[in-house]
């Protein structure tokens, strides 16, 4: 039993990856990644080896959380898009289905307008996959977490 | 809320170090960062003021090896302890899987400890958690200072759930890994039960 946890199976994971790959190509981005609102990295596409994706995921989630706090202080539900402009690289961060965070890093080969347009289309596909994730949420999988034993847990510390 | 990826066989869990200002939350993470094998830990990020007080959070990702073919990753966060950063503390508690409550053992800090524990319970409830059931470990830090409250006093003031508790001196590492191991165990047991 794993209710209350975010569980990603092969099919939906591959679905996320394929949406990100298409977004990467269509938006001429350097790297695209998908994060949950708690800062866990779900999927990536592009030149990820140049980036510390774990830290990026955590800070993107922190960024969305902080701006969400600001939004509620002025009576807004959320700021669903953030854009950070750098000297070389830019970052477009958007909230998908109120649960996921889609981050696109791009340089002068692309533009914020193009990224915004492509992100909108990708968000529709990501939402569809997220609904499939939710539909499978109750399913148990062979060799899953529910089979963990105390000895397994203890083995982590030996 | 843990994230379990069956495709890449990974479990990701979030641990939050909570407690009053200057109790040693960041020091816990710094010690863990220094002592962990570089292959098992990522970069430590501290969003702090110029005077090194935590402004938003500290973050340290750890990989602790595999169980049952799943890679285990734990994301350690601290909250800013100062009272006026309450909005940030609430945000950081989102999606938490386990809490380390770090108390300052100094007698003069007892009110702050109690206030912070109350604040933790309120903020957990606001995030939809049952403050009586979420995996939680208590750490009584600064045991090397004087005068400090006895463990029995700290227990009666803070450990209302009678959960695991550890004495600690975070700068030298006393009790730091014992605390971390205890909360990880509680999280994994909770994950297995799927209780939340």
pLDDT, tens digit, 9 for 90 and up, residues A76-129? 998 989 999 999 999 999 999 999 999 999 999 999 999 999 999 999 999 999
Give B196's pLDDT tier (boundaries 50, 70, 90).
very low
Domains and CATH numbers, chain A: 10-139 (3.30.450.30)
- How many Å apart are CA B43 and CA B75, to the nearest integer? 11
- CATH of segment(s) B10-193: 3.40.50.300
Q: What's chain A look like in SS3?
A: CCCCCEEECHHHHHHHHHHHHHHHHHHCCCEEEEEECCCCEEEEEECHHHCCHHHHHHHHHHHHHHHHHHHHHCCCCCCCEEEEECCCCEEEEEEECCCEEEEEEECCCCCHHHHHHHHHHHHHHHHHHHHHHHHCCCCCCCCCHHHCCHHHHHHCCC
A2 pLDDT exceeds 50? no
- How many Å apart are CA B72 and CA B13, to the nearest integer? 8
Rounded to the nearest integer, the mean pLDDT of chain B is 94
Query: A45 vs chain B: nearest CA distance in angstroms?
Result: 15
Predicted local confidence at residue B111, as pLDDT: 97
Contact B3/A1, CB-based, under 8 Å? no
Predicted local confidence at residue A143, as pLDDT: 62
Contact A36/B42, CB-based, under 8 Å? no
A6–chain B Cβ distance below 8 A for any pair: yes
Q: Cα A101 to the chain's mean position, in Å?
A: 4
Mutate to test the interface with B, among A1, A2, A3, A5 (most CBs of B within 10 A): A5
Chain A positions in Cβ-Cβ contact with residue B184 (cut-off 8 Å): 156
Every domain of chain B and the residues it spans: 10-193
Do the Cβ atoms of B142 and B106 come closer than 8 Å?
Answer: yes
β partners of residue A44: A33
A141 pLDDT exceeds 80? no
Q: Which residue has the higher pLDDT, A45 or A141?
A: A45
Give A140's pLDDT tier (boundaries 50, 70, 90).
low
A74–chain B Cβ distance below 8 A for any pair: no
> Looking at residues A29-57, what average pLDDT do you find?
93
| pLDDT tens track for B115-166 | 999 999 999 999 999 999 999 999 999 999 999 999 999 999 999 999 999 9
A56 pLDDT exceeds 80? yes
Q: What's chain B look like in SS3?
A: CCEEECCCCEEEEEEEEECCCCCCHHHHHHHHHHHCCHHHECCCEEEECCCCCEEEEEEEEEEEEEECCEEEEEEEEECCCCHHHHHHHHHHHCCCCEEEEEEECEHHHHHHHHHHHHHHHHHHHHCCCCCCCCCEEEEEECCCCCCECCHHHHHHHHCCCCCCEEECEHHHCECHHHHHHHHHHHHHHHHHHCCC
Query: A68 vs chain B: nearest CA distance in angstroms?
Result: 9
Q: What is the pTM of this model?
A: 0.93
Q: Which residue has the higher pLDDT, B117 or B6?
A: B117
B134, B90, B151, B108: CA torsion to nearest 10:
-170
């Amino acid at each position: 039993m794993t209710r209350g946890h975010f569980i990603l199976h092969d099919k939906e994971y591959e679905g996320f990856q394929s949406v990100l790959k298409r977004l990467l190509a269509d938006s001429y981005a350097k790297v695209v990644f998908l994060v949950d609102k708690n800062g866990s990295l779900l999927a990536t596409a592009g030149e990820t080896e140049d980036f510390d994706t774990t830290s990026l995921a955590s800070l993107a989630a922190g960024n969305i959380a902080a701006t969400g706090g600001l939004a509620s202080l002025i009576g807004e539900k959320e700021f669903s898009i953030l854009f950070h402009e750098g000297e070389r690289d830019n970052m477009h961060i958007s909230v998908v289905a109120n649960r996921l965070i889609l981050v696109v890093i791009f340089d002068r080969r692309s533009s914020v307008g193009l990224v915004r347009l492509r992100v909108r289309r990708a968000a529709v596909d990501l939402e569809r996959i997220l609904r499939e994730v939710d539909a499978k949420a109750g399913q148990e999988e062979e060799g899953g977490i529910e089979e963990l034993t105390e000895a397994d847990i203890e083995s982590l510390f030996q | 809320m843990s994230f379990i990826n069956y495709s890449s066989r990974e479990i990701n869990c979030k641990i939050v170090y909570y407690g009053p200002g200057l109790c040693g939350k960041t020091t816990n993470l710094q010690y863990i960062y220094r002592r962990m094998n570089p292959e098992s830990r990522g970069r430590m990020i501290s969003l702090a003021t110029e005077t090194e007080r935590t402004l938003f959070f500290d973050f340290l990702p750890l990989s602790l090896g595999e169980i049952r073919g799943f890679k285990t990753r734990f994301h350690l966060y601290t909250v800013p302890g100062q009272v006026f950063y309450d909005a940030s503390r609430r945000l950081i508690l989102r999606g938490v899987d386990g809490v380390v409550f770090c108390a300052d053992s100094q007698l003069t800090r007892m009110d702050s400890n109690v206030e912070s524990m109350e604040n933790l319970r309120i903020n957990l409830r606001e995030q939809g958690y049952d403050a009586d059931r979420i995996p939680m470990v208590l750490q009584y830090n600064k045991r090397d200072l004087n005068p400090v409250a006895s463990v029995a006093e700290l227990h009666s003031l803070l450990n209302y759930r009678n959960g695991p508790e550890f004495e600690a001196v975070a700068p030298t590492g006393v009790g730091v890994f014992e605390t971390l191991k205890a909360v990880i165990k509680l999280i994994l047991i909770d994950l297995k039960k799927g209780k939340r």
